[in-house]
Chains A and B, each alone.
Chain A
């Protein structure tokens, strides 16, 4: 799992965006975050996996929005005005992640990344790259490549 982390020397800082999903703290590398938008109703995509909330209009581009909570096995979100969509792009295309709220942008020393604990429930560990502990709070580092299936994965 350590290989999955960007190759940085010990002592390097990693900038992350943290957010809450179903009462838990998650984060992704800030490099993958394009912008953060408030929730607005999406268009249902027929025959799509259940965790695909629908399609949204991002300045004229049609992008899919994923219910991260459902995807992580933490239950379906009931999107409201308070929900937030984190627009990400990890090189495979632009995708919106529906989350409860965005918490912070922070720098974390790379060597503090730990193996995810097994205690976490449901699917979550499979989608994690590791965890950080910041101010005694456990922040799970999301492995975008796994959490957001590529096109082909969707079709399988």
Chain B
């Protein structure tokens, strides 16, 4: 067994790739008529996992991969129809995922829960039962996730308890040609390799040896009959003889019998006669093998780079962008800014640094494919646990998103999809009664839209009943009973902490962890989440995220002599305050009437404790910003300096959370500008400006 962490690491990395190929293939099996390249690719992926797992002695992984591979082989050979066995395939795929992860993390107890059961189901589905050491009892203990019963289960093939009848495996005859030795090959290591794969019985054909006097010194006279255990697939066997295909006669004398559909021209059980007719079969076998092996060692053309290195590059490029801005500013100040040569060179520098920045950001980008594949599984499990009939349709899987975003999207997406299945999609009977198809559809899509990543989760379930939500919110004391809310405002209540709409606590979505957590998580990524729903027709959740976490688009503003940045994602419009628009309602905060709505004004200088609110804001500029919950406020600033792309510098590490401040950036002149946290400024009831800011006090 090869040792070495590097090799292990390689194995697991490749497993990730192979598992992705596998999930891909499985989901394509769901959609299309199987056969051809899809099944081949699937088979190769599983086969490769098995090969590596075997080398490391991950036995459970080998067993499962093998059982899955056997079934796939049957599908490939049209002995088994893919569609009816799809649920088992999907589940086996999920479990394979688990096992790989368990081996990687070195804890494997949980992943094997229903392994024996699964192996039996796979064997049953493929119709070529394999001797399983596990007792057959309790096969009904674990209900099939899909309530699916394969139609042709040859249950009685499985001897219970008693001695297991050895299943015939592969018998083959291996007769090396002279050329095999000439090329430095040797039968002994080949037989050893075969033995290492499992049971092997070897017979040497001594009877056909010519008398010693007739032998050439470099002739090849020995041939062997090999009995391999049933645990080997044909591919396993052929893999071993990869190098000697053309330098030996390799006859497959028979194969493990299959119950369904006749196997290709297999000889009867009896030992086959030697020699005759073997030449026809060998090339066929060889070509199968070639087809199989070609995809195994074909990782994408890529190098592995530590994430740290990329991040350092990103930081450096950030510095470069700042440096370039500083240079351009000093050139302008020195009066050289009008020199055509300077202008041209500067323009080129700018273009290059922008492109460099984009390219480097792209290194961190990954497609959402693996994330979506994981979600497919979440939906399957959620559907099984709740007795729903659900189909997940994924769109835009190739959309690329920053790696960190992908990692941190996993939890909120999981939660939202479970919600969609658990609370969205109705039980099958109710759907039928409502005139809908039995099968509910959940759609998960990703797309780039105007500089943002938009992820949507749509279900065609029951939708949200605004009255129920409102009643619940009143009951929970979230809103007064006489509140008049728009539909959007009612939907927003779902994101309030502690809100839960189902009457009974479901083990799936649980209570307590609600959409408020989802919102917080998305917010932490600099994103927004919104919900729309039509009662009876379904719900759509929309997440929009910045393309990258490292760069943000913002509006540069000046307040009390300080330069600040308001993130563009929440900015709706800007305007001059003017006396006519600003008015006072008693002693409350100033408001601005905008197309009939009254919007509270917050003086940014006051909110950040830079100054007292000026009595007269009419000469100020106002930025209308919208919080994630849809709340609009007007931020009064002294001056709007312009739109800017800024490199985000985190603050919390050094300073803890600073109220009203999300992060910092460095401006063209080298000075630091703070980036405003709209959520905190806009929080509360619009009187934020009147409250004492949360002062960090009493330090010394």
Direct contact of A and B (CB under 8 A): yes
Binding site for B on A (CB under 8 A): 40-49, 51, 55-57, 59-64, 71, 93-94, 123, 149, 151-156
Closest-by-CB residue of A relative to B674 is A43
Closest-CB distance, B32 to chain A (whole angstroms): 52
- A49/B700 in contact, CB under 8 A: yes
- A154/B322 in contact, CB under 8 A: no
Which of B319, B563, B658 meets A48, CB within 8 Å? B658
**Distance in angstroms between the alpha carbons of A156 and B608 in the assembled complex:** 19
- A46/B609 in contact, CB under 8 A: yes
Q: Assuming A57-B672, A60-B666, A62-B651, what are 13 further A-B pairs, CB within 8 angstroms?
A: A41-B671, A43-B563, A47-B609, A60-B649, A62-B649, A62-B664, A64-B655, A93-B653, A94-B654, A149-B700, A154-B655, A154-B699, A156-B698
- A57/B699 in contact, CB under 8 A: no
**Distance in angstroms between the alpha carbons of A123 and B700 in the assembled complex:** 9
- B660/A62 in contact, CB under 8 A: no
Closest-CB distance, A34 to chain B (whole angstroms): 15
- B654/A57 in contact, CB under 8 A: no
**Distance in angstroms between the alpha carbons of A74 and B659 in the assembled complex:** 29
- B659/A46 in contact, CB under 8 A: yes
A-B contact pairs, 7 of them (CB 8 A): A43-B674, A48-B655, A48-B658, A49-B699, A60-B318, A153-B699, A155-B696
- A55/B656 in contact, CB under 8 A: no
Interface string of B646-687 (1 = CB under 8 A from A): 000101011110111100101000111110000000000000
Which of B610, B666, B700 meets A57, CB within 8 Å? B666
Which of A46, A49, A62 meets B666, CB within 8 Å? A62
Q: What are the residues of chain A within 8 A of B322 when measuring CB–CB?
A: 60
- B696/A48 in contact, CB under 8 A: yes
- B671/A47 in contact, CB under 8 A: no
Known: A44-B562, A60-B322. A154 touches B696 (CB 8 A): yes
**Distance in angstroms between the alpha carbons of A44 and B672 in the assembled complex:** 9
- A60/B319 in contact, CB under 8 A: yes
Closest-by-CB residue of A relative to B649 is A62
**8 tightest Cβ-Cβ pairs between the two chains A and B:** A46-B608, A43-B672, A49-B699, A60-B319, A55-B672, A155-B656, A62-B664, A62-B649
Q: What are the residues of chain B within 8 A of A123 when measuring CB–CB?
A: 700
Q: What are the residues of chain A within 8 A of B656 when measuring CB–CB?
A: 151-152, 154-155
**Distance in angstroms between the alpha carbons of A155 and B694 in the assembled complex:** 11
- A46/B660 in contact, CB under 8 A: yes
Q: What are the residues of chain B within 8 A of A61 when measuring CB–CB?
A: 649
**Distance in angstroms between the alpha carbons of A61 and B665 in the assembled complex:** 9
- A93/B654 in contact, CB under 8 A: yes
- B658/A46 in contact, CB under 8 A: yes
Binding site for A on B (CB under 8 A): 315, 318-319, 322, 562-563, 608-610, 649, 651, 653-656, 658-661, 664, 666, 670-674, 693-700
Closest-CB distance, A147 to chain B (whole angstroms): 10
Q: What are the residues of chain B within 8 A of A51 when measuring CB–CB?
A: 699-700
Closest-by-CB residue of B relative to A42 is B672
**Distance in angstroms between the alpha carbons of A125 and B519 in the assembled complex:** 48
Which of A47, A57, A155 meets B670, CB within 8 Å? A57
**Distance in angstroms between the alpha carbons of A152 and B649 in the assembled complex:** 20
Closest-CB distance, B558 to chain A (whole angstroms): 12
Q: What are the residues of chain A within 8 A of B697 when measuring CB–CB?
A: 49
- B699/A46 in contact, CB under 8 A: no
- A43/B658 in contact, CB under 8 A: no
Closest-CB distance, B566 to chain A (whole angstroms): 14
Closest-CB distance, A154 to chain B (whole angstroms): 6
**Distance in angstroms between the alpha carbons of A93 and B652 in the assembled complex:** 12
**Distance in angstroms between the alpha carbons of A149 and B649 in the assembled complex:** 22
Q: What are the residues of chain A within 8 A of B664 when measuring CB–CB?
A: 43, 55, 62
**Distance in angstroms between the alpha carbons of A71 and B651 in the assembled complex:** 22
Closest-by-CB residue of B relative to A155 is B656
**Distance in angstroms between the alpha carbons of A58 and B609 in the assembled complex:** 25
Q: What are the residues of chain A within 8 A of B672 when measuring CB–CB?
A: 42-43, 55-57, 62
Closest-by-CB residue of B relative to A48 is B696
- B608/A47 in contact, CB under 8 A: yes
- A45/B610 in contact, CB under 8 A: no
- A46/B654 in contact, CB under 8 A: no
Q: What are the residues of chain B within 8 A of A71 when measuring CB–CB?
A: 700
Q: Which of B664, B674, B693, B700 has the most CB of A within 10 A?
A: B700
- A47/B610 in contact, CB under 8 A: no
- A46/B318 in contact, CB under 8 A: no
Closest-by-CB residue of A relative to B315 is A60
Q: What are the residues of chain B within 8 A of A60 when measuring CB–CB?
A: 315, 318-319, 322, 649, 666
Closest-CB distance, B374 to chain A (whole angstroms): 36
Q: What are the residues of chain B within 8 A of A94 when measuring CB–CB?
A: 654
- A46/B315 in contact, CB under 8 A: no
Closest-by-CB residue of A relative to B607 is A46
Closest-CB distance, A88 to chain B (whole angstroms): 13
Q: What are the residues of chain B within 8 A of A151 when measuring CB–CB?
A: 654-656
Closest-CB distance, B466 to chain A (whole angstroms): 39
**Distance in angstroms between the alpha carbons of A47 and B606 in the assembled complex:** 11
Closest-by-CB residue of B relative to A126 is B700
**Distance in angstroms between the alpha carbons of A43 and B655 in the assembled complex:** 14
- A156/B699 in contact, CB under 8 A: yes
